Structure 1
Amino acid sequence: MRSYRIGQIVPSSNVTMETEIPALLRAREAILPERFTFHSSRMRMKHVTKEELVKMDADSDRCALELSDARVDVMGYACLVAIMSMGHGYHRASGDRLHGVTVQNGAAAPVVTSAGALIEGIKAIGAKRVAVVTPYMKPLTEMVVDYIRNEAIDVGDYRALEISDNLAVAAHDPLNLPAIVAGMKTDDVDAVVLSACVQMPSLPAISLVEAQARKPVISAAVATTWSMLRHLGLQTRVPGGGTLLSGAY
C-alpha cells in the first residue's frame, strides 16, 4: 500500500480545494489501495479581481519551491481564474515554469493547473460544447468563457453568480446549483461545468445535476483530481466524482 503526497498551491483565502480534493481521494481510498496525504502552500488573495490575481500568480514560484521541499508526488495550482486571467494558453506556460522550479530544487514533480485540468477533462469525455457556471463577476466570467473557447471548446449558456469576495464564494451552498442549472439552456450542450472555480463548492451536487440534466457534469476540483491521478499513473475511479472520475477516462 503506497502513500502519495498531494501538494496544492492555493490562494490564501481558498478553503475549498483543501476539502474537496481530499474528500474525493478519501472516497477513492474506500475502494482502492493507495493512500494520500495533503500539503499546501498559499499565495495572498482576498478578492477575485484582475489586479489581485496577477499579483497572486507572481507568488506561485515560491509556493512550488516550498512544496518541492516536502517532496510531493504531484502538485496542483488551485486557482483556475488566476491562470485564465493571464492570457490564452497560460496554463501551459505556468505548468512548465512551476515544474522547472521543482526540477531546479532537485525534487521534480508534475504540476497540474486547475485551468488546464478542466480543459483536458472536457476534451477527455468528448464534449465539444459545454454550459458553464462560475461565481465570478461578469467580466471575469466572460474572460473564462473566452479562454475555454480558445481551446476549441464551444460554450453555450453560462451563468455568472457575481460574488467577488473569495470567502463568500466558498460559502455558496452547492445545493443551490441544481436549481441554477435547471434555469439554464443545456439541451444543446454535451456536458455541464458545474463550477469553473476551485473555490465554489460543488461536490455534493455533481451526481444530482448529472441525474437532472442527463449530461456529464464536471467541476474544476473534479478535473484537477482526475489530472493528478493520471500524472501519478493511478486508476481514475472515484465514487461521487461523476463521469470524469468513473474510471473510464
Structure 2
Amino acid sequence: MKSFGTITPSSNIIVERVTLAMTRDVPDVSPHFARFGFAGRSDTVVEDYHWPSMMGAAQLLADAHVDLICWNGSKGGELGFDRDRVLCQRIEDELGIPAVTSVLALDQLLRGAGIERIAFVTPFRQPVNDKIVRGWTAAGYDCIADLGAGLSDNFSYSTMAPDVLKGMARQVATEKPDAILFYCTNLPGAGLCADMESELGIPVLDFVSAGVWGALSALGLSASLPRKWGRLLV
C-alpha cells in the first residue's frame, strides 16, 4: 500500500472530495490530508507562500509516514512556478519526502501534450486573473482567454453551479485555445472535464484532478485512472 498526503486550505471542500473520488478507482493507495488556516478573501495581494503554514501542514503529513506530499493549490501559478519548485525542494530537504504540486502537474501534462495555447475559467475577479495570465505567460504559455466569475471569498468558489462553469468554458472556447483549465482547487470542475472535452473537442483540465494525477504519477499509479477525469490524465 502506497500513501500520499495533500495540503489544502481550511476553507477548501473540493480537494478532499475529488481526491477520494479519484483514488476509489486506484487500488493500493491511501490518501491523507492536512489543512492550514485560510478562510478569507483570495484577491488580496500575496507575494509568497506563508511558509510556516505550508511547512507545518507538511510536517503533520510527514508524521503519518506518507510516501509523497502534494500541495493541491493554484497559488503557484500566480506567484511563479519557481515558488512551487522551492516548496517541493524544501519539503524533500527538511522532511525527506518527495513532493508535487497541482501547478507543476498541469505544466507537465500540458507540455507532454505539446499544448501552449490555453484558456482559463476561474471563480476570481479580474485582478487575480491578470496575475494568473502573467504567471503562465512567464512560463512560456500563450494565454489567449480568461474568464472569471467575480468572486473573492475562498469558500464561495465551491458553490459555483456546474451549468455556470460549462457556460464559461463554452465562452472561452470561442477563442480557439488548445486546452481549457478550470483554475482553482476549490472549484467543482473535475467531474465536468470529460463531458466538456466531448462537446468542445479539446482537452479540459481541472486543477484538483491534475494535482491528484501528479501524486499518483509520482507513485507510479496514474495508469489506473479512468478516462472520466479527462483525456490527458490517462
Fold-level similarity (TM above 0.5): yes
Give 2:63's aligned residue: 69
Correspondence for 1:97 among 68, 90, 95: 90
Shift of 1:174: 2.6
Task: Please give the alpha-carbon distance, in whole angstroms, between the structure 2 residues aligned to 1:99 and 1:201.
Answer: 30
Change (3 A) 1:157 1:52: closer
Correspondence for 1:122 among 110, 132, 138: 110
Task: Please give the alpha-carbon distance, in whole angstroms, between the structure 2 residues aligned to 1:233 and 1:67.
Answer: 20
The answer (yes or no) to whether the contact 1:222–1:244 under 8 Å persists in 2 is: no
Give 2:161's aligned residue: 173
Give 2:30's aligned residue: 37
What's the C-alpha RMSD, in Å, of the aligned pairs?
A: 1.9
Which consecutive aligned stretches of 4+ in structure 1 deviate over 6 angstroms post-superposition? none
SS at match of 2:172: coil
The answer (yes or no) to whether the contact 2:125–2:152 under 8 Å persists in 1 is: yes
The answer (yes or no) to whether the contact 1:5–1:72 under 8 Å persists in 2 is: yes
Change (3 A) 1:148 1:11: same
The answer (yes or no) to whether the contact 1:174–1:203 under 8 Å persists in 2 is: no
Correspondence for 2:137 among 149, 160, 170: 149
Task: Decide which moves more: 116-125 or 126-135.
Answer: 116-125
Residue segments in structure 2 that go unaligned for 5+ positions in a row? none
Give 1:138's aligned residue: 126
Shift of 1:37: 2.2
Correspondence for 2:147 among 153, 159, 176: 159
The answer (yes or no) to whether the contact 2:74–2:183 under 8 Å persists in 1 is: yes
Q: Percent identity, aligned pairs only?
A: 25
Task: Say if 2:205 is the partner of 1:211.
Answer: no
Shift of 1:56: 4.3
Residue segments in structure 1 that go unaligned for 5+ positions in a row? 104-108
TM-score (norm 2): 0.91
**What is the letter of the counterpart of residue 204 of structure 1?**
G
